[in-house]
C-alpha cells in the first residue's frame, strides 16, 4: 500500500527535527568505500538546472555566504601566501604565451567607451587596442587638449579621464609633464 501525498506530508512533519545528531541511526557510522563509489557513480554526469543554479547563487550571495563579514587574520594570510609561493604555485615554471599575456592585458584595461573625439583620436586608440597593439601612445593633440581643458578649470582630472577614456593616473601624468615644461626656463 502506498501512502498518499497528504499522509507523506504528515509523516514528514512528525519526524522533522526528531532524529538529529546522536539520535540519527546513522550517526557516527561512516559509509563504506563501495557505498561511497555507488553514490558517486549515481551522481556522475548530473548537472544543475538553470533555475537551481540561480537559486544557489541567490542563497550564497551577500549575507547568505558563509564567509560574509569574515576576514582572514594576518597570520592566516601569511600562511596562504607561503603555501602558494615558489614551487607550490600552480603556475610555477609554466610559461605564459604572448597571446595569453595580450588577453590578460586587454582584460585589465578599462574598455573604451563609444565616445568618438571629433578628430577621431579616440577611434584610433580604440582601433589600436582592438588589434591588441599595446604600444600605442597618446597623440600630442589629445595631450594638448587635456592640458587646455584642465587649465580652463571646467574639468577635474577624473572628468577628463572619463571624457578621453583614460586612467586618472594617465591624466595626472600628462598634466604634471605639461606643468613641469612650463616652469622650465626657456634657453
Answer yes or no: is 179 within a domain.
yes
How many separate domains does the chain show? 1
Answer yes or no: is 34 within a domain.
no
d(C-alpha 134, C-alpha 116), whole Å: 20
Residue 19's pLDDT is 85
Task: Say which residues have a Cβ less than 8 Å from residue 139's Cβ, sequence separation at least 6.
Answer: 121, 124
The low-confidence residues of the chain, meaning pLDDT below 50, are 112-118, 132-136
Residue 187's pLDDT is 57
d(C-alpha 146, C-alpha 161), whole Å: 9
Specify whether the backbone of 106 is left (phi greater than 0), alpha (psi in -120 to 50) or beta: alpha
Q: Which domain holds residue 150?
A: 106-183
| pTM of the model as a whole | 0.32
Residue 121's pLDDT is 57
Residue 102's pLDDT is 79
Answer yes or no: is 39 within a domain.
no
Answer yes or no: is 77 within a domain.
no
Answer yes or no: is 49 within a domain.
no
Amino acid at each position: 500500500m502506498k501512502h498518499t501525498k497528504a499522509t507523506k506530508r504528515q509523516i514528514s512533519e512528525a519526524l522533522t527535527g526528531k532524529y538529529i545528531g546522536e539520535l540519527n541511526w546513522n550517526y557516527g557510522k561512516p559509509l563504506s568505500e563501495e557505498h561511497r563509489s555507488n553514490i558517486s557513480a549515481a551522481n556522475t554526469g548530473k548537472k544543475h538546472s538553470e533555475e537551481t543554479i540561480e537559486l544557489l547563487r541567490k542563497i550564497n550571495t551577500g549575507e547568505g555566504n558563509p564567509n560574509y563579514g569574515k576576514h582572514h587574520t594576518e597570520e592566516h594570510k601569511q600562511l596562504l601566501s607561503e603555501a602558494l609561493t615558489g614551487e607550490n604555485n600552480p603556475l610555477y615554471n609554466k610559461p605564459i604565451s604572448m597571446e595569453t599575456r595580450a588577453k590578460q592585458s586587454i582584460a585589465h584595461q578599462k574598455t573604451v567607451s563609444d565616445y568618438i573625439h571629433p578628430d577621431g583620436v579616440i577611434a584610433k586608440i580604440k582601433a589600436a587596442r582592438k588589434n591588441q597593439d599595446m604600444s600605442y601612445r597618446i597623440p600630442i593633440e589629445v595631450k594638448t587638449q587635456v592640458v587646455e581643458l584642465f587649465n580652463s578649470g571646467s574639468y577635474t582630472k577624473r572628468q577628463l579621464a572619463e571624457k578621453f577614456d583614460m586612467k586618472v593616473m594617465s591624466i595626472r601624468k600628462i598634466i604634471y609633464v605639461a606643468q613641469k615644461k612650463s616652469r622650465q626656463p626657456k634657453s
